[in-house]
Chain A
Amino acid sequence: MLILTRKSGEGIRIGEDIRVVILEIKGNQVRIGIDAPKGTKVYRDEVYEKIKLENIKASVITKDHLQKLFKIWTDKGKGK
């Protein structure tokens, strides 16, 4: 991993069209501004990871699960 030291107001360029600027440093929080072309997805790391882990968890289904699911659904009186 490339590691750079930056001060508040300074920035980094990634390739031709992505710019990251350190806007403010306060205690252990850093505000970052990102200029990237439309269509470039920028997510907080943990959001992407969270969704990914949840997908992996959700992909573990069995036929038995589906039957139980059906039973819960009908027992609930069609969800009402």
Chain B
Amino acid sequence: MILKTSRFGEIEIDEDKIIRFVHGIPGFPDAKRYIILDHPNGPDVPFKCLHAVDDTDLAFVITDPVLFNGDYNPDIDEQELKELDVTSPDDRGLIVIVTIPHGEPEKMTANLQGPILINLGTREAKQILLVNDDYPIRYPLFQNVAALR
């Protein structure tokens, strides 16, 4: 099918790759279907785009949290795993949303407190709200970015 986006124009997507958020994402309850788009510079770039299928404007930057925090291993409630029918670790996909402050992309942070759990088999997903405070909502991705300048 053709995905219409305000940022990237029209993109051909594989319907089988659509990810379903049964409850939407907090703040965006109406958008239930999303697709992951590679970064315009290619699939090797670790930042991808989680784009709503039914909203041309709604998109998030996502990344693999383990790339930036090797110890990231949140304790996800049994009930949440059951809800998405995640039974084996192979089914369990975890991504996080990146927040890019306006005009200061180098200060981008990742939301480690609200990871997105995806059942890689059924492609159902949900943003998990971790109850303990072990992981911050704004984890700086590039801690030493100032040193680069």
Contact = CB atoms under 8 A, between A and B. Distances in A.
Given A63-B8, A66-B61, A79-B68, A51 B148 contact: no
A21 B106 CA distance: 47
Interface string B33-44: 000000111000
Contacts of B129: 41, 43, 47-48, 51
Interface stretch (A1-9, A24-32, A68-76): A68-76
Contact of B127 (A51, A57, A63, A70): A51
Nearest to B5: A63
Secondary structure at the A interface, as helix, strand, loop or mixed, is helix
Contacts of A59: 27-28, 58-60
A9 B138 CA distance: 38
B25 A61 contact: no
A69 B99 contact: no
A69 B108 contact: yes
A1 B23 CA distance: 25
Given A66-B39, A72-B145, A73-B47, A61 B26 contact: no
A66 B59 CA distance: 12
B4 to A, nearest CB: 15
Contacts of A65: 61, 100, 105
A67 B7 CA distance: 12
B65 interface: no
A73 B111 contact: no
A68 B7 CA distance: 15
B79 interface: yes
30 contacts: A38-B79, A47-B113, A47-B129, A47-B131, A48-B26, A50-B113, A51-B114, A52-B27, A53-B27, A54-B97, A54-B111, A55-B25, A55-B26, A55-B60, A58-B60, A58-B97, A58-B98, A58-B111, A59-B58, A61-B60, A62-B7, A65-B100, A65-B105, A69-B39, A69-B100, A70-B39, A70-B40, A76-B145, A79-B46, A79-B67
